[in-house]
Amino acid sequence: MPKEYDLVVIGGGIGGYSGAIKAAKAGLNVALVERDLIGGTCLNRGCIPTKAYLKSAQAIREFEGISEFGIETDAKYNVKFLKVKQRKEEIVGNLRNGVQSLIKMNKIDYFQGEGSVLGTSIFTPKSGSVMIKPQGDADEIILTPKNVLIATGSRPASLPNIPVDEKNILTSNGILELEKLPKSIAIIGGGVIGVEWASLLHWMGVDVSIIEFQDRLIINESQKVSAQLKKEFEKQGIKIHLSTKVESVVIKDGLTKVTAEAGDKKIEIDSEKVLMAVGRRPNVEDIGLEAANVDFDKHGIKVNEYYQTSAENIYAVGDVIPTLQLAHVAAAESELAIDKILEKNVVPLEYENIPRGIYTYPEIASVGITDGSDGHEGKAKHGQFDFKFNGKSMIMNESIGQVEVFSDKDSDDLIGVSIVGPHATDLISEPSLGIYLNATPGELGSTVHPHPSLSEVIMEAARDVDSNSLNK
């Protein structure tokens, strides 16, 4: 007899386990199904492990600049990459254990195996029953939930003419399994994943080239920020090829040769490894969507503003739907989906007000409209303050970058903030709250900020919107 649940969640990443925990805390009977490692891509192969590597890269950069702080040393450093990897795995393991503890503590039934939704039949009269194929030879399990939450995430995309072998031509999955740093690498793709890996590998001593089809890096950020990152990368020694189309990758004697076209010019880049960083694809295959009459296409599962699919008792969140592919977005979506299941009053998510972070050196973060417009046809009011004029930045020897504040000309409400510089991904939370609360630059600028602190740059940039900055 199939076991009945209020909710079955397919996918144990941040979107899946966040929804499962929220539902269980609200008193629902919940099951969670995961075919791989609990925690999903972000915890195991994305956000957390790459940021652990980036911290090691930061330590190298700070050691190389230690003489700026009046500390002279004849010591040399060696990057023990296996130790770097071991540290990363310990962090990931501790966090994964924490998620498992939360699942157990909230009395969520956990199933390891392939989960898929079923259509109606004599055995499953209600669309949305879930079949689990456990690993090994164990019998299939059928669960009959009132509601289903699909959070199966995404996987690395590749180019059709370039076969990924995860040995010479790597994805963001395979590169995390390396036990030895390559001497050189060609990164195909200048989006967030590509530039973060470029930054951390460069500071670990790898010769890095980026090949990007578009005419600039990080295409979702403003042209000013894209140009700024390119300038800083090139100053550091990272080679960048924009408006360049990759034609082929040939592997010979354990090395790779990338052949590409830049306009009417052919270029060849020799490197030890190639990293494919051309985006991610939603995991919509083999989870029963057709049988359950759930609409989807190559971009993901189609949902309404409450994350209901065409089958109203089946919800979908995270990378498997065509919204922002960010871990915190998946978590927020799942919480709203659970609120809808609980029949609460749900206010749809405003995606334009969700902060974005890029963990390069320098760090980049933004929220809202940062292209200089007000989102309609008008030009936004603009204020800026540079980190090089900030006392805490000088103390830290981190003078690259600035804060830009944008506000609507008519309402004076904050509509966007862009930060390039130290701790940008932490600082962006204050402007995000300001936008959420419909604050004005005047209100942000009149809030007393601690001194000396990096946050004063936000205050000064907000004041500069009306030419009221005291230190500019």
Q: Which residues are catalytic?
A: 451
Is 283 within 8 Å of 115 (Cβ atoms)?
A: no
Give CA–CA dist 85/103, Å, rounded: 27
Closest C-alpha among 102, 290, 84, 248 to residue 175: 84
Tell which residue, 197, 195, 160, 196, has the closest CA to residue 182: 197
Task: Report the alpha-carbon distance of residue 40 to residue 43 in Å, rounded.
Answer: 6
Q: What is the CA radius of gyration of the chain?
A: 24
Which residues lie across from 142 on neighbouring strands? 131
Q: Give the 3-state DSSP-derived string for the chain, with helices as H, strands as E and coil as C.
A: CCEEEEEEEECCEHHHHHHHHHHHHCCCCEEEEECCCCEHHHHHHCHHHHHHHHHHHHHHHHHHCHHHHCCCCCCCCCCCHHHHHHHHHHHHHHHHHHHHHHHHHCCCEEEEEEEEECCCCCCCCCCCCEEEEECCCCCCEEEEEEEEEECCCEEECCCCCCCCCCCCEECCCHHHHCCCCCCEEEEECCCHHHHHHHHHHHHCCCEEEEECCCCCCCCCCCHHHHHHHHHHHHHHCCEEECCEEEEEEEEECCEEEEEEEECCEEEEEEECEEEECCCEEECCCCCCCCCCCCCEECCEECCCCCCECCCCCEEECHHHCCCCCCHHHHHHHHHHHHHHHCCCCCCCCCHHHCCEEECCCCCEEEEECCCCECCCCCECEEEEEEHHHCHHHHHHCCCCCEEEEEECCCCCCEEEEEEECCCHHHHCHHHHHHHHCCCCHHHHHHCCCCCCCCCHHHHHHHHHCCCCCCCC
Distance CA 369, CA 375 (A): 7
* CB within 8 Å of 391: residues ≥ 6 apart: 451, 452, 456
